[in-house]
Amino acid sequence: MGSAVETLCGQASLVLSFSWWIVVVAQFIYILRSERCKATWTGFRREAFSGLWQFVKLSAASAVMLCLENWYFQILVLLAGLLKNPELALDSISVCMSVNGLMFMVSMVFNAAASVRVSNELGAAHPKSAAFSVFVVTFISFLIAVVEAIIVLCLRNVISYAFTEGETVANAVSDLCPFLAVTLILSGVQHSVIWCCCWLWMAGVCCLRECRV
């Protein structure tokens, strides 16, 4: 059974990596062949490889951040398995993680909206409007995260029945709901803050360039 699961996971990972490379190759071919990209793509130059070491350091830091962001779910599962009643702990934490994942989709929507909005403002040379958009998105994301946390706290005694019928698991999830509510608020804000830091940095660069001009 274990070898079958390992084989399946390995094949899924290989297919996922292969699909990403298909996207990269397709975009590269489109840039080379498209009439719209002739004015922006003139071929490889030596300047394209300048600052490569700085890019590597930034990529390494970003990779570490993404690994920590994605691995903490697995770390929680491993730690839950070390408790006195691992079955109950894993059941309750899986319910909380499912609720957190559903609520997290709302933050992802605002991240996408912020990306499009701020990109348009920066492209139009409006750095102040871009910075204002960032703060608005962060504030709205915080308010929605607070509303989600309140809903979870109000439904703490019944929310687990959407995933399981066990009363013991429901009681355990009810005890974890205050921590889940705090996690929802932090998760809703942190992703907006991460995107805000990136976009504000770009807005600051645009402001400096505009002042120099």
pLDDT digits (tens, 9 = 90+) for 7-57: 444 455 677 778 888 988 998 888 888 887 777 777 777 777 777 888 888
Angle at CA of residue 37, ends 32 and 38, nearest 5°: 85
pLDDT digits (tens, 9 = 90+) for 54-71: 888 888 888 887 787 778
Q: Is residue 177 scored above 70 in pLDDT?
A: yes
The domain total for the chain is: 2
Residue 58 maps to a domain = no
> What's the pLDDT score for residue 126?
77
Assess whether 126 and 27 both reside in one domain.
no
Question: How sure is the predictor about 160, in pLDDT bands with cuts at 50, 70 and 90?
Answer: confident
Q: State both tokens at 76.
A: 């929680």
Residue 55 maps to a domain = no
> Cα–Cα distance between 23 and 201 in angstroms, integer?
28
Residue 49 maps to a domain = no
Residue 48 maps to a domain = no
Q: What is the total residue count of the chain? A: 213
* Sequential DSSP letters for 113-173: HHHHHHHHHHHTT-HHHHHHHHHHHHHHHHHHHHHHHHHHHHTTTTGGGGT---HHHHHHH
Assess whether 148 and 110 both reside in one domain.
yes
Q: Domain limits at 149? A: 65-213
Angle at CA of residue 116, ends 100 and 33, nearest 5°: 115
